[in-house]
């Protein structure tokens, strides 16, 4: 029986990964920020009850050196999933909220890996945002196609701090990996992650975005933003395959070839939503977004670099080398809504 560490175990992606690893026969160590907050541990405690003796929880802090040493002990593989994900309108201090925990967390987790002789492979959860800064950057890449070989060179703490934090953390991870030869590393670079949540208290920006759409924040019309996207269950499976397949190497984009817009999502969700009138039916023109966007935390640079822009994703490596058969957007969104409804039915009357 192999033993795996999953950092940020109570998170959106990590929760699915822990569930999958247990189903595949692993002994699992999962770190959480605090063991004294039972609301955050509901899904993990349920998994512990279902598979007694197979899941151990550890308290660890991304910013604290040595914090991951105990959790890493005896592990064969480490999945470093923990890292904050916020959309621009959620960010108040990019350095404190994003860069420092992403960068220091990577150093501290991989420091624990270096000190643990049993670890053979690390799977790092990165993002497509470590490949490009703004959408407009992708149009200048070879063929205007997103590919793993590129790295984001345009994001800063002032412009797209989330993408900046992730590319800096990934660069640091590759540098640390390159200074030794005992363990290997694979990076998973997913697009916007959608699909059912195992917990109602995740801070993931993915859930924040869909929460706004499902609650009717865009009922008046959808801004012309689109996203690379992938199902959370496909992301969990890609992590497992990246760990188990010896030939897996480098970076893997996890996203469908085409992008999905707010209006596309609304159209697919409408047959399932109990209040379909909350979902937008029309696309807003660009001018009100340019005027009102700054009121919602979107800078003019961000708007110019994303609004109305589409590109194609090269996901062949994930299909051919990891064997990922992507779920359809319609299935993902329907499952996402059913999960959202289950977690929110105590807050919304009449649903």
Q: What is the per-residue pLDDT across 60-93, written as a single tens digit (0 to 9) for each?
A: 999 999 999 999 999 999 999 988 766 566 666 7
Mean pLDDT of 139-166: 90
Lowest mean pLDDT: which of 72-86, 199-213, 296-310? 199-213
* Coil, helix or strand at residue 60: coil
Average pLDDT, the chain: 91
Segment holding 264, helix H or strand E:
helix 262-269
What fold characterizes domain 3-194+229-255?
Rossmann fold (3.40.50)
pLDDT (0 to 100) of residue 139:
92
Q: Do the strands 184-190 and 250-254 form a parallel or antiparallel pair, or are they unpaired?
A: parallel
Q: Which of 246, 193, 155, 66 is nearest to 58 (CA)?
A: 66
Tens of pLDDT, residues 253-297 = 999 999 999 999 999 999 999 999 999 999 999 999 999 888 777
Q: Which residue in this structure is represented by tokens 């890292």?
A: 83
Is the predicted pLDDT of residue 252 greater than 50, yes or no? yes
Residue 314 has pLDDT above 80, yes or no: yes
Residue 350: per-residue pLDDT: 39
Q: What is the pTM of this model?
A: 0.93
Name the DSSP letter for residue 96.
Answer: I
């Amino acid at each position: 029986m192999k033993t795996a560490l999953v950092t940020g175990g109570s998170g959106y992606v990590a929760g699915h990964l822990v569930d999958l690893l247990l189903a595949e026969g692993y002994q699992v160590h999962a770190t959480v920020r605090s063991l004294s907050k039972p609301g955050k541990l509901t899904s993990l405690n349920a998994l512990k009850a279902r598979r007694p003796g197979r899941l151990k929880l550890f308290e660890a802090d991304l910013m604290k050196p040595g914090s991951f040493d105990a959790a890493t002990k005896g592990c064969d593989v480490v999945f470093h999933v923990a890292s904050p994900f916020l959309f621009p309108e959620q960010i108040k201090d990019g350095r404190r909220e994003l860069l420092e925990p992403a960068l220091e967390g990577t150093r501290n987790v991989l420091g624990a890996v270096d000190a643990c002789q049993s670890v053979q492979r690390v799977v790092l959860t990165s993002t497509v945002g470590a490949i490009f800064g703004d959408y407009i950057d992708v149009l200048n890449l070879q063929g205007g196609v997103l590919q793993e070989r590129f790295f984001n060179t345009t994001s800063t703490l002032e412009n797209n701090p989330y993408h900046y934090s992730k590319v800096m953390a990934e660069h640091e991870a590759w540098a640390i990996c390159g200074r030794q030869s005992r363990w290997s590393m694979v990076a998973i670079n997913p697009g916007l992650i959608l699909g059912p949540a195992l917990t109602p208290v995740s801070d993931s920006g993915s859930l924040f975005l869909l929460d706004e759409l499902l609650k009717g924040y865009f009922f008046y019309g959808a801004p012309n933003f689109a996203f690379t996207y992938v199902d959370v269950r496909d992301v969990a499976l890609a992590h497992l395959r990246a760990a188990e397949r010896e030939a897996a190497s480098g970076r893997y984009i996890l996203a469908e070839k085409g992008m999905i817009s707010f209006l596309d999502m609304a159209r697919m969700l409408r047959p399932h939503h109990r209040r379909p009138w909350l979902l937008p039916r029309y696309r807003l023109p660009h001018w009100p977004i340019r005027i009102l966007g700054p009121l919602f935390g979107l800078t003019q640079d961000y708007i110019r670099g994303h609004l109305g822009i589409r590109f194609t994703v090269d996901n062949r490596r994930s299909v051919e080398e990891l064997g990922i058969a992507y779920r359809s957007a319609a299935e993902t969104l329907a499952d996402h809504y059913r999960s959202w409804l289950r977690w929110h039915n105590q807050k919304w009357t009449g649903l």
